Structure 1
Amino acid sequence: MTNLGKLAGRHVLVTGAGSGIGAAVARALAAEGARVTLAGRRREPLETLAAEIGTAAFVADGFDVTDAAAIANGLKAARDTFGPVDILVNNAGEAPTASFEKTSLEMWNHVLSVDLTGVFQVTQAVLPDLRARGTGARIINIASTAGLTGYGYVSAYVAAKHGVVGLTRALALELAKTGITVNAVCPGFTDTPIIERSIETIVAKTGRSREAALTEFTKSNPQGRLVKPQEVADTVLWLASPGAASINGQAIAVAGGEVLAG
């Protein structure tokens, strides 16, 4: 990847970077000159992506956003490699499905721990670096249209993503005078491994075809399709760029018109 670009020399930490949106974000930011720490729990997909990106990538495997010690260890290794973090992309998340009645307390706590408390813990750990940089530092949270509206059978996920949007807005106001901006990107249903697993589950449980199962996810998008990970990555790239310095506290829907107001 080139070292020239609008993010040249910036150190970006991307959680959940091994696949889907996280991997697309890492590629897009590295292409603009950023040095990218690829954080995630599993080493193999991170190593594959790092080999693609080249020397501008560092693998922080075992990076469990629910584990404060794992966050601290991964962040230390990232700093030792690329220096202080300038841009944080909180992307790690899970979205198991169940009716509300069948959502166990264990599932509820796990989803909130990964999708919401994980954002809290990683942001707190990285914030000293961002404060030291000031102007140009960025926090970009990958939320979801589930943080702007409601969906059935994913109550824990909807609650967590609403929390991410609320945390984004609160922190944006707290940090507004530091030069750090805080925004959320809210994709609709996106062509990622999570959606593919959901389609497989629908097929297995209902006997419907893959095409019929896919329709369950595309019907909410007025464009009649899944969002592409690259489209989400392009939005993140814009928010990370110098030209987005006045964009703060926003929850930007990338969903083909499904959600018309944030």
Structure 2
Amino acid sequence: MGGRLEGKVALVTAAGQGIGRAIAEGFAREGAVVVATTLNAADLDGLPVARRAALDVTSTAAVEALAAEIAHDYGGIDVLANCAGYVAHGSVLDCDEETWDVSFDLNVKSMHRTIKAFLPDMLARGGGSIVNISSGASSIKGAPARYAYGATKAAVIGLTKAVAVDFIREGVRCNAICPGTVQSPSLDDRIAALAARTNQDEATVRATFVARQPMGRVGTADEVAAAAIHLASDESAFTTGTTMIVDGGWTL
């Protein structure tokens, strides 16, 4: 199927790798004019989208400046995919003030910034779809050593529902996707870090991630992107305020 996002302008954050990149590619395949962003623009090289831009989602000024540019060039956006995130390891006893603040700034406040900056023009265009990447870990089901991360991803669900109910009559839908363990450079980094902390080889650590998945495998970024395409498209026009779980049964 193609053309499901034809005529729509979409902005994707954290599109340099993993889920964000797969979503940007999927949106483009479905006909959207995609503005792909990430902190380091070089990470967007080779991405087949209309526009690539460096964006620090922890900077309100940077987000507002990009929103103004997009409004000038495209008249705003129809789809916003918030994919930026950071996984902090540890329990409450391991979580210092800096880890807590960084986690909430990148995982939650970044979405507040982008939604607040891009929503006015979305409303002016007659509506649109916001897709926030949450997580099954701790927001839906408790996960060991994910204290700060789980708190932020639960907050994303609350943020999603608040936006959905506030703008439901103005044609703006807001939904969250809760992925399970997905193969990505981020997962590779976490596996390497955990192996180093526990003096295990990476293959052993990776096997523990796979073993907790009822399907016997981790997910792919494209499988999460498929859910994002559905929520961004008009085929989900009666869907808002939901948490779509894409986790291979991990939260069952």
- State the TM bucket, normalised to the shorter chain: over 0.9
In percent, how many aligned pairs have the same letter? 34
The amino acid of 2:53's aligned partner reads: A
Residues 11-30 of structure 1 show CA distances to partners (whole Å, capped at 9, x for unaligned) of 10001111000000000000
Normalising by structure 1, we get a TM-score of 0.91
Paired residue for 2:140, among 145, 148, 167? 148
**1:59 and 2:52 matched:** yes
Q: CA deviation at 1:162?
A: 0.1
**1:98 and 2:96 matched:** no
Counterparts of 1:69 and 1:118 in 2: how far apart (Å)? 12
Q: CA deviation at 1:224?
A: 1.5
Counterparts of 2:73 and 2:236 in 1: how far apart (Å)? 27
Q: CA deviation at 1:60?
A: 1.6
Query: Paired residue for 2:45?
Result: 47
Counterparts of 2:12 and 2:81 in 1: how far apart (Å)? 5
Query: Paired residue for 1:83?
Result: 75
The amino acid of 2:35's aligned partner reads: T
Query: Paired residue for 1:189?
Result: 181
Is the 1:11–1:83 contact (alpha carbons within 8 Å) kept by the matching residues of 2?
no
The amino acid of 1:139's aligned partner reads: I
Q: CA deviation at 1:114?
A: 0.6
**1:128 and 2:120 matched:** yes
The amino acid of 1:109's aligned partner reads: D
Paired residue for 1:74, among 63, 66, 71? 66
The amino acid of 1:29's aligned partner reads: F
Number of residue-to-residue matches in the alignment: 250
Paired residue for 1:166, among 158, 163, 171? 158
Counterparts of 2:73 and 2:211 in 1: how far apart (Å)? 45
Query: Paired residue for 1:205?
Result: 197
Is the 1:60–1:78 contact (alpha carbons within 8 Å) kept by the matching residues of 2?
no
Is the 2:67–2:76 contact (alpha carbons within 8 Å) kept by the matching residues of 1?
no
Paired residue for 2:242, among 227, 234, 250? 250
Q: CA deviation at 1:122?
A: 0.8
Query: Paired residue for 1:33?
Result: 31
Residues 19-69 of structure 1 show CA distances to partners (whole Å, capped at 9, x for unaligned) of 0000000000000110111111101111332xxx1xx421120x1111110
Stretches of structure 2 that go unaligned for 5 or more consecutive residues are none
Equivalent position SS for 1:127:
helix
Query: Paired residue for 1:18?
Result: 16
Normalising by structure 2, we get a TM-score of 0.95
The amino acid of 1:254's aligned partner reads: V
